[in-house]
Structure 1
């Protein structure tokens, strides 16, 4: 899909719900940003240095806060991956 869009990984954000498959994999191919999805706030992510995303979300609509318009990223809207929830 990136090739079809003519996008480079460093200009893309990978959103995934599996830290070890999605986040580690996206970092391995140099995605510019990674965001983890944590569906259950009562089950904190099992973070390591290797699988640490740039931020996390609890629901997909939160992506609209992070990416308010084309080419812009509201990094202040990212939830810290290790916020204790």
Structure 2
């Protein structure tokens, strides 16, 4: 079975993968940079993703939705925590 989410940089740690609280079927992914440096990584979902929306810890949008292709590029500052809402295709 394929994992729901993978990331290609060991410094980026996925801490949560869950369904959105609003029962929309969207997937919430939380991750952070763990080594105290900057990190560039690609997050990949094990399911088709139509749109990615940055959200806060209460799952409220904090940025504009972005259409996605194969992977989701992320850039993190030292110890930065990021939460994304992945809207399924």
TM over 0.5: no
- In the superposition, the TM-score normalised over structure 2's length comes to 0.27
TM-score relative to the length of structure 1: 0.28
Greater relative CO (CA pairs within 8 A, separation 6+): 2
**Higher share in strand:** 2
